[in-house]
Amino acid sequence: MIKAVLFDLDGTFADTAPDLAAALNQVLQEEGKAPLDFDMIRPVVSHGGIALIRLGFNFSDQEVNEQHNDFERLRQRLLDIYLNNISNETTVFDGIEALLTKLEANNIAWGIVTNKPGWLTDPLMEQMGYTQRAATIISGDTTKERKPHPGPLIYACQQINCLPSECLYVGDAERDIIAGNAAGMTTLTALFGYIEAHDQPESWGADAMIKHPEEIESFL
């Protein structure tokens, strides 16, 4: 019996791509570069600021790993812009609100487990109006480990007093499924999320793949 549903944040619970894309394009314009098409940015959003700056400015793996001076400056600028515009266009995905209402009506807890740092997660959840409704919100810096380590998911279960085997985890990235499986949860891949063209979600090992949040109901 499922007693709790946990969601990844970007690309699973909330469609944050419009605001992150706008922030990246503002940085590009400030640096004298042409903005990128939204369709090019959207699939990369789940991988955070590092991946977005790498996309926009074509940094090599070596430059990223060595935290090239320009790279870190641009990444910080992106995050500053994003923080100040964090909920301009961001909404939960279609079907999420209806699902949350049903979960709450049936006393099934729900929460967020994301790699997004708390200083971004907390204001976003607050501005969207979900902070008080969530049974737990675990950010990328809440615990010592981050996904794909199962630690954050196990900690979330401890907070809401349920076993991992009683929990469903939904995510749109391979690290979400790896973490959920390692924690002993039922895992669902959100195909409506930010999945890149070269990704192979069918190989991630999730218990199922879903195209819309309403499909989550059948797993409860």
Rg over alpha carbons for the chain, rounded to the nearest Å, is: 17
The enclosing H or E element of 52 equals helix 48-57
Q: Is 141 a catalytic residue?
A: no
CB 48 within 8 A of CB 78: no
Token pair in block for residue 56: 């926009």
Alpha-carbon span 67 to 72, nearest angstrom = 6
Residue 28: how many other CB atoms lie within 10 Å: 18
Q: Which member of 8, 10, 15, 176 is catalytic? A: 8
- How far is C-alpha 169 from the geometric centre of its chain's CA atoms? 12
Give catalytic residues, as residue numbers: 8
